Amino acid sequence: MRPPPLAGLRVLDLTRLLPGPLATMHLADLGADVIKIEEPGGGDYARTAGAVHGGVSYFEMVNRNKRSLTLDLKQPAGVEAFMRLAAAAEVVVEGFRPGVVDKLGVGYRAVSSINPRVVYCAITGYGQDGPYRDRAGHDLNYLGYSGLLDQIGVAGGAPAVPNFQIGDLLGGSLSALVGLLAAVVDARSSGRGRYVDVAMTDGVFAHSLFPLLTVLGLGQVLPRGQDLLSGGMPSYGVYATADGRHFAVSAMEPKFWQTLCATIDRPDLAPFAFATGDEGQRIRRELEAVFARRSFAEWTTVFAGVDCCVTPVLRFEESLENEQLRARGMIVEVAGVKQFAPPFKISELPFAARRAAPAAGQHSAEVLGEAGFSGEEIARLQAQKVI
């Protein structure tokens, strides 16, 4: 069997909570040896803070296939141990506020001075420079500054808060993966690493394509719920059924819209797929009245065999049982906990849960031993509560 594509890639993961740990879990799923470095004691805050409903913490869902090393970087012996590990690492990922790792003595300049090949990725809310660099923030703050939050919601309503961390996951996790893997490819050929500065606000802002198109065309965005994709065009939107459920209509191409109109026995609506303004709202009301006549189950049956981009809006527990997602193997069980499989399918790379999310410090002695620490050195670090 072929080794996984990132086999042999050694990653030191200083991140906690969500954006960084998810990014490094993707690396681990692809075969990288990810060493999660946590503070002695409680470790990553997500171990406890993530269990918001009294059940499983999301920590378990974003830290599989990693090893855990507890290391007190506030002690000189902890910094020295980290630097010995960093000398042989290809990647370091951190998610502290700008300047923190430099104060600790484990920043990019310090690491690259002993390991010029290292790729050092920093994930922050606002980046390493600019007037906001030192500000605290969470997902909603990044969405707010990027202009995206103002665009989400219905006409006349307040901005809608998504139950999906767009800034953390798109702006943080995925943007970091693109940047650091590009730098790894370069480092392996050139022998020189790079510093990768990822700001979650930048990641959201850089993907807000349709608001930018509107500004370029009109000089400003349209009010929430009135742009083409947020309610201004009847062929793209969400429609309520008779029993309070919803259907997603994305019949943007003329052939799909015409098929939709034929299926609901309203051929008179066929010319108005791209209607906007008052006419667009009139057609939307017509479509709302049609969908309100039947139940969710009835419409599901009607559109089951019709290829026109009209689909049920599933509740999440229904998505867990959805035949397409199950056929793709998107739900796996690791140590008794349901979680997501990797969202990419790569030939000759079956998903493998080699390890469940580790206990804090579970692999400390193992990792240090592999790095050349003697048993006496490890015992001394334990006695000093460095690990």
Which sequence positions are flagged as catalytic? 138, 168
- Kindly give the pairing relationship between strand 66-70 and strand 337-340: unpaired
Indicate the length of the chain as a whole number.
Answer: 387
In angstroms, rounded to a whole number, what is the distance separating the alpha carbons of residues 339 and 351?
A: 12
Report CA-CA distances (Å) from 13 to 5, 6, 18, 70, 90.
19, 15, 12, 11, 11
In angstroms, rounded to a whole number, what is the distance separating the alpha carbons of residues 177 and 198?
A: 10
- Kindly give the pairing relationship between strand 310-312 and strand 246-250: antiparallel
Q: Say if CB 166 and CB 139 are below 8 A apart.
A: yes
In angstroms, rounded to a whole number, what is the distance separating the alpha carbons of residues 52 and 328?
A: 29
In angstroms, rounded to a whole number, what is the distance separating the alpha carbons of residues 25 and 357?
A: 10
> Any bridge partners for residue 248, and if so which?
238, 311
Say if residue 37 is exposed, middle or buried (CB neighbours under 10 Å; 0-12, 13-18, 19+).
buried
